[in-house]
Every structure is written in C-alpha cells, then in structure tokens.
Structure 1
C-alpha cells in the first residue's frame, strides 16, 4: 500500500494565512492598509520555501503596520486570542513575531512583554533571539522571570529561546562561548511539571555539551543524585550526544564504568551488502568479572566518503546489567537505504561495537551501490 506524500512544510504559510492576518489586523489597527498588505505578502509567495514565506509576510507587515512600534504592538496584542474570543494563532504568528524582532529592538520591555503573550499561541523562540544577541544581560534579566510563569509555553520559551544552537534560528555566539548565564534558567526548570518544558531543557543542555562537554557532565553530576524519574530522563536525554561520544564523566554519571572483563564476539551475516538492503549482525557479550556490570552497547558505522576516507556515525543499541559469568546475545538489522542526510559510496565500510563508550570489536563489510 503506497503512503500519500507528506504535505510540504512550506505550505504551512499559504495565501489563506495571509488573508487571516489581513482580516485580523484590519480590525485592530486603525488605518491598516489591508489590500496593500495582502498584495505585498501574497506576491510570489507560493514560489518560496517556509522561512522565505515568513520573511516575505513580515516585510509586508513592516510596510503596512504603524511605524510607531507601541501602536503596532497594541494592534498585534489586540489581534491575539483572548479568553474564548478567537484571534491570530499558529503559523500565522511566525511572521508576526519576526515583525516584533525587526521593529521592536528599540523598545525592549514592550517587545519582550508582547512576545511573552504571543508565545502562548505560537512559539516566539525565533523572535526572542535578536533581543538576546543585542543586549544579553537585559534580555536574560526579563527571561529569568518567566520560569515561574503559570503558562508552560512561556516557561518553555525561557529555555528554548535561549538555546545556544537552536535549529533554524540565529546562533547566539556569546552563549556558545559561555553558557553560564542560562544555567540558572535551566536549573529552575529541571523539575517542571510539563514534559514539553523538560525536553526543551534537555535539548539546551545537549546544545551546550557540543561546546562544553565537561560543563554538562558536571551539571548532570550535581543534579542526578536522588533525581526523580522525570528529571533522570531529562538528564539522560541532555547527555545523549556525550554518551554516544563516550565522554567518560557523563558515562560515570549513569553508572557506566570502563569495561573490565567484558568479552565480545561479533559476527556478520554477510560481508557484502547491496544498497537498499540491511547489514545483519550478531553480538555476544560475556562478563568474566567477579562483579556485575552495567553495559551500554552501541555501534558505529564508519561510512565511506567520496575521498576514500570514512566518517563514523554512532547508533544506540541497548543497555543491560550482566551478572558475573553471564552472557548476552544480540542481533541487529541496520538498514542502508536512501536518506536525505547522507550520500552513500561503494566500497569498504567498517562496523565498530562500543561498550561503555570504548571500541571492543569491529568488522569490515563491502557496500555494493550497483
């Protein structure tokens, strides 16, 4: 049975959204030129990708909303949902929030207050970043107050909007260099009642670990003792990249010591794999140590590159506790099929098994692209 193709992401911003924005703002902004906005925002819109569409609509807002930012902010606020009354929400607010970021940098307090209200109806994580970049101390002083907000969307904005390497968004180089200023925000949200917020905290810590692995290892060590299950899951998710990389401090945080007395036997079902099929392999793990051991078993595929070298990609496998003398038998099918994030090349590839971050056995296989 064929699956229907997914709707292109760009279609989240379509001519109907332009009409919705035009209708709402024409009711809330005296003198707003609805027709001029609709014509400018809609001209060539469907030829653009998602973020280009959003910026085009933002530019139309810059042309037609009042040049006086407080007046424009009042109109936007009035266009938001209120109680049971409908208003602008969802993807229609992406270009609106970008308007605030472009026009409102000269009025920090009003802009941040507006984005705090707006994020309840669509995330303002992209729009908040120009304010952090322009005046980090001033922006973070306001954002730190959001961690106690009753609305989980506002609390999440405090963690997601301050992520040093937020995908699709401008990078925050000052926080990439020194993330210490946002650690109090993340600490305050560690035990947030909403998983939606906790996952954002974990993703921010994972971002930080790409540049400051020891800092994240120390952060996790300070907050893991006696952690309730939701916080423990958060800390593990925050450590996912460093666990894959075998960072010794992070492994120790979760009870994974360097493997001692661990024996492994790796077997491949075949040493040649046709592109589109799967690499099938088995692994036996034995504990000959006198003490039980917790083992995290991963594997890395060293993909062949165009220049003949290889590039490793680590994949999670399983976690187990082995009693003295116990053994574990595992089997895996690793698909080698077309994906958008990798180009495959024919030739020798290498499979490496990792136990608690250390390579313990390996085998080569040939990839046939014919």
Structure 2
C-alpha cells in the first residue's frame, strides 16, 4: 500500500533541514526548532504540516526579512547534491514563509523564490505576490521565460495557473487570463517537456472559464504543429474534448457525427465498492471513408439523494476504416477516492463519440464499505 501523501513531510526531513539551517547560521537553534515542529506532525495532513513548519520558521529565522531570505538561500542544496542542503517538500514551508514575511519586500522575495523553485517549486508561494504586486511579478516573469533553468521557466506558467490545485485561486486571472497569454505563447515550444506540460495544464485551467479562447488558441497553433506542440495542445484540449466542444473537436478532425452504430457491454452487472467494471464498446462503420473518432465514456454516479452526477473519463482515439467493425475495452475501477463518495444504486455509463452520445448501459453498485 502506498505511503500517504502527508509522509512527504516527516520528522527525519525536518531534522535534516534544521541541521542545514543551523550549519549556515550560528543563530539558528535546530533543537528548539525540531521541538516546536516534530511533535505536531503526526496529527497533521500534508498541507497542514507545511503550514506548521512555516509558522516555526517565522519564530526561528531572523526578524529582518533580507537576513532571513539570505539564510534560506545559503542553506539550499547545491545543484546535483540534494543531501547537502534544503530541497524537496520542506521548501513548500520555506516558500510559505517567504509569502508571509516577504509580501512587503516583493523584489527580494521573488529573487529568493527563483532560487527555491530550482530545488522544489515555488508555484504556491508566488501566488500572493501576483495578487499584491501583479505588474512587478509579470514583468519579472517576462524575464524568466528566458532563464536557463527549466524549473524557473515552468514557474512562469505553473505559478500563474488560475486554478492551481492546492494553490490560492487567482480570481483576477480566472476572470481575465489575458496577462498570462504572452507568457504561454513564449513557452509553447519550450525545449523542456516539463515546461510544456505546465503550459498545457494552464490552458486547460483557462478552458474551464473561457472555452472559446482556448478553442481559438488550438485553431491558431495546431496547423503544421510539431509533435511536441501537438502533444501540448492535445493535453490542453482534454476538458473541451470530453465536453464535446464543437470548435475543438473540428480542430482535431473529430467534429463529424459518427456514421455507424455502437454497442456497449458492462461486466459484471453488479459489483461492490473496490471492484472493477469491464467496459467493451463495439463500433461498426456505415461510412464509405475512414472516420477519425474520439471515444469517451461518462459514468453517472449516484448521489446521496438518488440523483446522478456525470463524470467524463478519457477513452480511446482511433481511425475506423470504411465498413470496419472494431471493439475497444477498458477496466474501470470503482474504488474509494478522496474526491468522490460512492452510493449504492444503478449507475449509467454513456459512450460518446466525437462529443455525441451513441450508446449506454448500466451496472448496479450493491453496497458501500463503512
């Protein structure tokens, strides 16, 4: 069984980090710092652990922010030597410290976050500065798009994502993402897949509030795109493809209505929580030419009040030849996850091809553990 996320920040890591901080400043009391943090960890989840450490850093680092930031920078791990300094999940807490104590010192703080992000990520810490000092931050990000470190370039995109998971929502950018668009354009063909993936996720965030903007983006940048750019745009399109957005589907060549018949089979017909449903979809073409098809499936989850909530899952992308019959299969897990609670009842599964529903079937979830 996988370790819970919260263990990414643990007592051993805190003690090691305290040692690095003590090594780089004679004024830092590692024993007191650990005594303030370690006893609290067991009762806390991951984010709460990071916030607990940030509070302790406020207590134990210098009150002068420039001195505190310099101390953190001295303690950072040298590139290629992660055991010799601060790195990894502890830097979530260090970034939070910078966001709390450095908001009135934005230039110094951004310089510190630029160093930190090369050892972990500063995508959470930079967001309060975007809210408080948008012009300064975007001017700085414009310079960072040319930084030699892929981690700094990724921060340009990831730090400005409007709906970053676990991060402060950037409501101004949710309402109007235009300040970010020149940065994303500059990173569209970045050499690093790590950076391009962030750009794709950023565009997918925008699509949730401004679907036509992202549809226009795909129409503009998809023709004659390189393979890496196509992969970026495909990932950026994923929410709109699941929704069957007409412009995006046409841009990818899958906007036409499926000419043929479809059948779906679910096995077994009844399951309990923790088991799998086998999904088999058979498509028969009635067309005289090839058809490019995007096939997704929607599970209509039963809610506590007996109504259902649809969730689209990515399925298959294929070309069906004229007159061809083809079957695709998938095992779908029905198991507990933190973001969904299951309830017993009949769950409908709908197959959609190129954004249009074409067939459905159902299974019964018999009981719920606990």
TM over 0.5: same fold?
Answer: yes
Q: Partner of 1:222 in structure 2?
A: 220
- Structure 2 residue 170 is the aligned partner of structure 1 residue 163: no
Q: For residue 366 of structure 1, report the CA deviation from its aligned partner.
A: 3.2
Spell out the pairing of 1:57-68 with structure 2 (5 A cutoff): 57-68=53-64
Quick one: distance in 2 between partners of 1:18 and 1:269?
48
Match of 2:6 in 1: 10
Q: Structure 1 305/154 Cα, relative in aligned 2: closer, same or farther at 3 Å?
A: same
Residue of structure 1 aligned with 2:342, choices 338, 341, 344: 344
Which of 334-343 and 74-83 deviates more? 334-343
Aligned equivalents of 1:41 and 1:280: distance in 2? 47
Tell me what 1:179 maps to.
177
Query: Is the CA contact 2:258–2:353 (under 8 Å) kept in the aligned structure 1?
Result: no
Task: Give the match's secondary structure for 2:301.
Answer: strand
Post-superposition CA distance 1:68-110 (Å, at most 9, x none): 1111112112112346773211222221111111111111111
Assess, with a 3 A threshold, how the Cα gap between structure 1 residues 111 and 270 changes in structure 2: closer, same or farther.
closer
Deviation at 1:292, TM superposition (A): 2.2
> Cα distance 1:45–1:331, how it changes in 2: closer, same or farther (>3 A)?
closer
Partner of 2:69: 73
The match for 1:353 among 343, 351, 354 is 351
Task: Note the alpha carbon deviations across 1:26-48, whole angstroms, 9 max, x for none.
Answer: 33335334443333233423322
Aligned residue for 2:148?
Answer: 150
Post-superposition shift, 1:126? Answer: 1.0
Partner of 2:303: 305
Q: Quick one: distance in 1 between partners of 2:118 and 2:267?
A: 53
Superposed displacement of residue 319, structure 1? 1.6
2:231 corresponds to: 233
Q: Is the 8 A contact 1:62 1:99 kept in 2?
A: yes
> How much does 1:272 deviate?
4.2
Name the structure 1 match of 2:33: 37
The yes-or-no answer on 1:54 pairing with 2:50 is yes
What is the TM-score of this pair, normalised by structure 1?
Answer: 0.92
For the residue of structure 2 that corresponds to 1:51, the secondary structure is helix
The one of 244, 257, 260 aligned to 1:259: 257
1: distance between equivalents of 2:19 and 2:329? 59
* 2:23 aligned with 1:27: yes
Is the deviation greater in 250-259 or in 44-53? Answer: 44-53
Counterpart Cα distance in 2 of 1:315 and 1:347: 20
Indicate which of 130, 135, 138 corresponds to 1:137: 135
Instruction: For residue 205 of structure 1, report the CA deviation from its aligned partner.
Output: 0.9
Contact 1:191 1:198 in 2 (8 A): yes
CA distance in 1, matches of 2:74, 2:329: 59
Match of 2:241 among 240, 243, 246: 243
Once the two structures are superposed, residues 201-226 of structure 1 have per-residue CA deviations (whole angstroms, 9 ceiling, x without a partner) of 11111111111111111111111111
**What is the deviation of 1:260?**
4.7
SS in structure 2 of the partner of residue 360 of structure 1 = strand
Residue 200 of structure 2: aligned partner: 202
Structure 1 Cα separation of the partners of residues 326 and 90 of structure 2: 53
C-alpha RMSD over aligned residues:
2.1
Structure 1 pair 308/37, CA: closer, same or farther in 2 (3 Å)?
Answer: same
Distance 1:20 1:363, change over 3 A: closer
Q: Report how many residues are paired.
A: 366
Distance 1:306 1:312 in 2: 14
1:243 deviation in Å?
0.7
What's the secondary structure of 2:98's corresponding residue? helix
Deviation digits for residues 330-350 of structure 1 (CA, Å, limit 9, x no counterpart): 344433344443332222221
After the TM superposition, which of the residue ranges 272-281 and 181-190 deviates more from structure 2? 272-281
